[in-house]
Amino acid sequence: MRIVIVGAGAVGSYLAERLSSEGQDVIVIEDDEERAAELQDRLDALVITGNGASPTVLEAAGVDKADLLIAVSNSDGANVLACHVAAELGVKRTVARVEDPDMREALAGLEVDFVIDPGEAASHELVTLVRRSGVSELVEFAGGRLTLVGATVTQTSRLVGSHLGDLRRSTDWPWIVAAVVRHGMTIVAHGDTAIEAGDHVLVMVKTTDVDRAIQLLGVRHHTIRRVVVLGSTRLAELTAALLLEEGFEVVMVDQDRRRCSKLAAHLAKALVICDDPTNPTTLGNLHLDESDAILALTGWDEVNILGCLVGKALGASTTVARFNRIEYVNLLSGVGIDAAVSSRLIAAGAILRFVRRGRIHSVVTFKDTDAEAIELEVDSGSPAVGRTLLELGMPRGAVVGGILRNGQTLVPSGSTVVQAGDRVIFFAMPDCIGAVERLFGRV
C-alpha cells in the first residue's frame, strides 16, 4: 500500500516508522527542514520537505498513485486542505487530524474520509484509568464483552513464580496472559511463561471478570474521590470536564495566570490554583491521601514526571502521566508513575484500524511495546476454520486472547476450534501480524 503522511511530528513520525516497518510504501511530507532531514536519516521511506497542502508538493509525492493520505500536522486547517487537494489529485482515501469541534462539523464535501481527535480520545482513557486506579491499561474488545487489563505485577500476585499453564488449570474462571513486558523487552506469553514481580502484564478476560483480573495481578484498588490535574493544556481541560461530569472533585494546577483564568471561567466547579505544578508546598497543602489521583497533563514530559513523583511522595495513591517520548515509560514504570497516556499512540491506533479496515474491527497499540492487539473477523475461506488453535501453529510471537462468537465471548485454550465468522482478538509482534492476518483470511 502506498501511503502519504503529511506532518512529521509525534504522530506522523511514529506512523511512518510503524507503517514502513510493515513493508508499506511510505512518503512523508514535512515543512520543517531540520525535522525532515532527521527523519530521513532514520527511516526507510522517502521524506519530502515542503507544504503538505500544496498541489505541487503533493504531486511530487505521487499522491495520485497513493492509496491513502494521512494529514496529522499541528494545523487543523492545513490537514483538511491537504486531504481536499489530495482527493482532487486522485488519492483513494484520506485521514485528517482535526481537534476543533466546529471545524469537524463543517467537513461535509471537503473529501475527508476519517477524522481523528487524539486529545478527546485520550481524555476518555484517563477517566477510565481514574475509575480503575492501579491499572495501566483497560481496553475493551468484542463490543465491550472482553477486556484487556494491564498492570505492573506486584510480589503479592498469584502469577509470580508460577508457569501460566499450571496456574490457568488451577483457577475456575477463564483468563489468558497475552504479553509480558520485562525490562523493555516483550514476551508473547505461552503456557511455559513464568511471571516475575515488576513485569508489566496484559491479561485478557471477560469484562465481567475485570475485578478478578485486577486481583490476580496483585493490584491494590483505591476508590478515588479527588483528582488533581497538573497543567492547562487542551487535554487537561477536556479531562477535567469529563471528571466533573462523573462526579469527581477536581483541582487544577498551572502557573500560567492567563490560562488559569480561562480554566476557572470554563470549569466553574473545579478549584484552579495558579502555581508551579511540581511545587511540593503547593501539592502538600492539598493534604493528598489514598483517595487522591494525580494526572500530569502538561505539555512537558519532565514536568509530568516530576509532578507524579512529588504527588506520589506526598500520599496520592494513583499517578498518571502524559508522555510524548514513550522511552520514558519503560524507565519509570513502577517508580512513582502508575500509568501513562500518549496522544500519538491513541491516534496511531485509530489510523492503523482505518488502514487495515475490511475484516479488522479494532487495532490497539501500547506504550512500552511494539506489539499490537487486533480484532478481526475469520473469513469463511480461512484455513483456520475447523481447526483448534493448537493445530494452527501460530507464530511464536502471537497469541489469541479472545473470541466473540454469535454474541458469546470465549477466553480460548489450545483446544478451542475456530469457526467462520468468529471475531478473534490476537496479540502479536509486528513481524507476525501479516502472517496471522493471512491465517484467518481467505486462502
Q: Where are the domains of the chain?
A: 2-116, 122-126+222-344, 352-439
Class in CATH terms, 2-116: alpha beta
pLDDT reading at 305 higher than 60: yes
Q: Can you give the pLDDT at residue 28? A: 96
Q: Can you give the pLDDT at residue 189? A: 86
Fold observed for domain 352-439: Alpha-Beta Plaits (3.30.70)
Mean local confidence (pLDDT), 107-134: 86
Identify the band that residue 70 occupies on the pLDDT scale cut at 50, 70 and 90: very high
Secondary structure of the chain as H, E, C letters = CEEEEECCCHHHHHHHHHHHHCCCEEEEEECCHHHHHHHHHHCCCEEEECCCCCHHHHHHCCHHHCCEEEECCCCHHHHHHHHHHHHHHCCCEEEEECCCHHHHHCCCCCCCCEEECHHHHHHHHHHHHHHCCCCCEEEEEHHHCEEEEEEECCCCCCCECCEHHHHHHCCCCCEEEEEEEECCEEEECCCCCEECCCCEEEEEEEHHHHHHHHHHCCCCCCCCCEEEEECCCHHHHHHHHHHHHCCCEEEEEECCHHHHHHHHHHCCCCEEEECCCCCHHHHHCCCCCCCEEEEECCCCHHHHHHHHHHHHHCCCCEEEEECCCCHHHHHHECCCECEEECHHHHHHHHHHHHHHCCCEEEEEECCCCCCEEEEEECCCCCCCCCCEHHHHCCCCCEEEEEEEECCEEECCCCCCECCCCCEEEEEECHHHHHHHHHHCCCC
pTM above the 0.85 mark?
no
Q: Can you give the pLDDT at residue 331? A: 63
pLDDT reading at 104 higher than 60: yes
CATH 3.40.50.720 at 122-126+222-344, yes or no: yes
23-37 pLDDT, tens digit each: 789 999 999 999 999
Mean local confidence (pLDDT), 98-126: 85
Q: Can you give the pLDDT at residue 192? A: 87
Identify the band that residue 330 occupies on the pLDDT scale cut at 50, 70 and 90: low
pLDDT reading at 128 higher than 80: yes
Mean local confidence (pLDDT), 319-330: 77
122-126+222-344 and 2-116 share a CATH fold: yes
pLDDT reading at 326 higher than 70: no
